[in-house]
Structure 1
Amino acid sequence: MGNEHLIGYARVSTQGQNLEQQRERMLALGCTRIFEEKISGAKRDRPELLRLLDHLREGDVVAVIRLDRLARSTSDLLQIAELLRAKGAGLRSEAEPWADTTSPAGRLILTVFAGIADFERSLISERTSSGRSAAKARGVKFGPKPVLTPSQIAHASVLVNWSRTLN
């Protein structure tokens, strides 16, 4: 794996699960430090991941056993990979050898994924916009439902006008 400084990130989703298997595999890979977390990947606030990102130095490589231990989704993975790139660090997954940003092929694959994710976001936005326009054309009203009835609004207007005549 070269002279890079491998730093591991291990995560299990629940307190009942064990990090031991991930820890052993990361030590076998040569990780000099392992950040461990027992927290759902769906949580945005993952303190050990934040500590890991803060700890990283240029040339470090974050090692994970599988990408789903690190990221919740493709967009989350791409965001984390970009944070690593900005720090001059790499990413390597044992189970997904194509996800190795320390190699030109791995960087290419993640770049392609980023392009696909961007394309997907633009398609979703376009479909949402088209759907909203079609719904408006059918008379659908967006936003919260009015709390007051039309008669209550008319009564409030009378009261406001009445209070203005007093001043």
Structure 2
Amino acid sequence: MRDDNDPGTLDPITGGLMLGYARVSTDDQDLTLQRDHLRVAGCNKLFAEKVSGARRARPELDRMLDHLRPGDLVIVTRLDRLARSTRDLLDIAERIQITGAGLRSLAEPWADTSSPAGKMILTVMAGIAEFERSLIIDRTRSGRVAAKAKGVRFGPKRVLTPEQITHARQLIEGEQSVAEVARLLGVHRATLYRALMPQ
């Protein structure tokens, strides 16, 4: 919730709040330097946390993103404090943009979505990330096709050997129930049903 008694510094252009986000990866690192830089930049509403960028859960980041309103400006000292990858950065930037807020990095002046040039650069980055994702998908698909042509099987490994499956068929044809045969082989009924299905 927004604290009306402490509105924070307002962005002189948009009139929105200037919100700072700081993060360090380990408990041994100190947030003081980032906080100082963000205060000098005009932020007096800060969200800070000690958590690895590789971890999905970043509660203070989520709290800040939920706090955003149109015209607000998110300021970070460096982009790697905000995001763990290009894709992550673009996702966060999109969430910020959807609320009508902007993003600015102090160390990377080109990363300022409150300017037309910054918006253009992020759009180009999004296009490159999409292109990279398409290449990965194509390479993965080609690799699977080549592997299948060489006889490689995908999916979970067989739990039952071909001999066990043949034996199971014989037992079921001999009037034993699938449940009894599954229990005898030490597998779940669903596993046995899948094994008995024609390939």
Normalised by the shorter chain, which TM-score bucket?
over 0.9
1:10 aligned residue:
22
Aligned equivalent of 1:96:
108
The equivalent of 1:48 in structure 2 is 60
Matching of residue 153 in structure 1 with residue 165 in structure 2: yes
- Matched with 1:69 is 81
The whole-number CA distance in structure 2 between the counterparts of 1:123 and 1:36 is 36
| 2:34 pairs with 1:22 | yes
Q: Are the aligned partners of 1:58 and 1:87 in contact in 2 as well (CA < 8 Å)? A: yes
1:37-62 C-alpha deviation (Å, 9 max, x unpaired): 10000011110000001111110010
Distance 2:173 2:42 in 1: 78
1:164 Cα shift? Answer: 5.8
Output the aligned Cα RMSD: 1.3
In the TM superposition, what whole-angstrom CA distance separates every residue of 1:61-101 from its partner, at most 9, and x where no partner exists?
10000000000000000000000010001000000000000
SS of equivalent residue, structure 2 residue 20 = strand
Q: Which of 1 and 2 has higher RCO (CA within 8 Å, sep 6+)?
A: 1
Deviates more, 1:1-10 or 1:17-26: 1-10
2:195 match = none
1:163 CA drift (Å):
2.6
8 Å CA contact 1:5, 1:32 repeated in 2:
no
Compute the TM-score of the two structures, normalised by the length of structure 1: 0.95
Q: In the aligned structure 1, how far is the partner of 2:173 from the partner of 2:60?
A: 60
Moved segments of 4+, more than 6 Å: none
Q: Which residue of 2 aligns with 1:32?
A: 44
Q: Which amino acid is 1:111 matched to?
A: T
Give the residue type in structure 2 aligned to 1:84.
Answer: I
Query: Who is 1:60 aligned against?
Result: 72
**Structure showing greater Rg:** 2
Aligned pair count reads 165
Percent identity of the aligned residues? 63
Q: Deviations over 1:84-131 (max 9, x none)?
A: 010001000000000000000000000000000001111111111111
Q: Report the Cα distance in structure 2 between the residues aligned to 1:19 and 1:160, rounded to whole angstroms.
A: 67
